[in-house]
Structure 1
Amino acid sequence: MPGKFTDQIGVVTGASTGIGFAIAQGLIEQGAKRVYITGRSAGTLEAAVAKLGEKAVAVISDVSRQADLDELKSVIMANGDQVDAVFANAGICKKNPVGETSEAAYYTMFDINVKGVFFTVQTLLPLMKNGSSIVLTASICSSNGMEGLSLYNASKAAVRSFARTWANELKGRKIRANVLSPGFTRTPLMDNGLGMSESDIAELRKHVEQITPLGYMAQPEEIASSALFLASDDARYVNGVELMVDGGLSQI
């Protein structure tokens, strides 16, 4: 049976692992013709493509660098593709206690999480079809004050703001812009970004089980399915929203 993304072209930034990889995998399983995935590590990208198969096209790209985004655009154009869905998913998460945060840490966070999202969309916009979809990955931290993460929280609030404006600004082309805000999800960000040990993660998992109404920490596939919904025709009248995918945590 045809899938929801049959013959469509998707772009997923930060798709080597975690939620981005799960989104790319879902697009392909649902019939996408081609999915462009990006990441900063050639090794992890190659491993991702080996799992995803021939419909995945890997482009080494740092979203904070305009030259890399231009290269991504060139690769898509070289294949003669127009884009049906852009998932601006690439981002980082690092702790920054107030009073102990360097200027360099500030710029790194905002260059990737805010500048990277903005210029990913701006760069690919000329290749997007009228009526296509933009899905931005934010976080439930976009609307809370999680301790020690002020830069991350603020960067995700900026991402949420982009969708509101773009839903209005791109109305002439009927391009929808929505935000996916995951709750606690077991991804490599915990290991690589936050520097958590397995015992730290196990302790966090127990805490999440206690505070989340559904009683467990999500897997990337559970978050990706909501991203795919936002990009699909099932959500064709959904525009400018922030979808909290957090087991009910932000609602209580």
Structure 2
Amino acid sequence: MNFNNKNVLITGGTTGIGLATAKAFIQQGAHVMITGKNVDNLQKAAAEINDIKLKTVVSDTANLTDIGTLEKTIVQSGKKLDVLFLNAGVSKFATIESTSVADFDLQFNINVKGLFFTLQKMIPHLQDGASVVFTSSATSTASHSQLSVYSATKSAIDTIARVAATELAERNIRVNIISPGPIDTPILGKAMSADEAKATQDFYKTGGLIPLKKIGTPEEVAEAVLFLSATTSSFITGASLSIDGGTALRR
């Protein structure tokens, strides 16, 4: 895959899947812009990638003003986007009974509202023939305990993506979804304690949930994003690609 001089925007690009995907695009010659709400994390990502083809932008996906600022940054660059990877997201583990209003709003504001309006603002700045990729989750069609709100946000993302694929087809803009299963990223550590995160990962590996008996890597997900963004997948739109080690087979 060759992305020489292609322009890529990745929301939530400072860690995990976003960071791995930024690295992969840059290795293939792309100019990449990543967003994050934490300045320190953006600086760490920039230092780790250490390439002049990377640009960082402070932007909180949950903040509509920040989304407007991101749009201005794109306009000021004078470049249209060839790839938009809508990856920013957050999860909170809680039963329905114990879910707080604050955690409900947090997940919907970032995962759904922020994603929707980022897409809305970026559509005029997409090249005809561009590719848009959404990060959903294997949980969007599952019913795992303590993930009711997170799963609901990912189901909403799937629907938004399919409608976008329909609406943008006339410009030959393809819109696809990646649905990762258990991936070794910092998201678990943010949603639970270190001991709980380790126990969860151990269960994934040995509890029969994943037929391949391993946790996926951000790099494996990144390769899928690049595939869906490349001309080799030019007849694929509105699709959801599971990257879950066979997790869906166990439902």
Q: TM-score range by the shorter chain?
A: over 0.9
Q: State, as a whole percentage, how many aligned pairs show the same letter.
A: 36
Q: Which runs of 5+ in 2 are unaligned?
A: none
Structure 1 stretches of at least 4 aligned residues deviating more than 3 Å after TM superposition? none
The correspondence of residues 28-177 of structure 1 with structure 2, limited to 5 A, is 28-32=26-30, 34-52=31-49, 53-177=51-175
**Counterparts of 2:88 and 2:167, CA distance in 1:** 23
Could you tell me how far 1:14 is from its partner in structure 2?
A: 0.4
SS at match of 2:2: coil
The one of 23, 26, 32 aligned to 1:25: 23
Q: Structure 2-normalised TM-score?
A: 0.95
Q: 1:171-198 CA deviation, whole Å, 9 max, x = no partner?
A: 1111111111101011111112x1231x
Does the residue aligned with 1:170 lie in a helix, a strand or coil? Answer: helix
Q: Please say if residues 111 and 154 of structure 2, whose CA atoms lie closer than 8 Å, have aligned partners that are also in contact.
A: yes
Contact 1:183-1:245 within 8 A present in 2 as well: yes
| Range with greater deviation from structure 2 (179-188 or 98-107) | 98-107
Q: Matches of 2:42 and 2:227 in 1, distance apart?
A: 25
Q: What is the distance in 2 between the residues matched to 1:18 and 1:223?
A: 10
Establish whether residue 195 from structure 1 lines up as the match of residue 201 from structure 2. no
Structure 1 position 23, deviation (Å)? 0.8
| TM-score (norm: length of structure 1) | 0.95
Asked if the contact 1:11/1:86 (under 8 Å) is kept, the reply is yes
8 Å contact 1:167–1:239 — kept in the other structure? yes
> Kindly tell me: are residues 105 and 26 of structure 1, through their superposed partners in 2, closer, same or farther at Cα, counting changes over 3 Å?
same
Does the 8 Å CA contact 1:4/1:233 hold for their aligned counterparts?
Answer: no
Q: Which residue in the other structure is 2:223 paired with?
A: 225
Cα displacement (A) at 1:17 = 0.4
The amino acid across from 2:226 in the alignment is: L
Equivalent of residue 205 in structure 1, options 201, 204, 224? 201
Q: Within 1, Cα distance between the matches of 2:92 and 2:67?
A: 23
Task: Give the C-alpha shift of residue 219 in structure 1.
Answer: 1.3
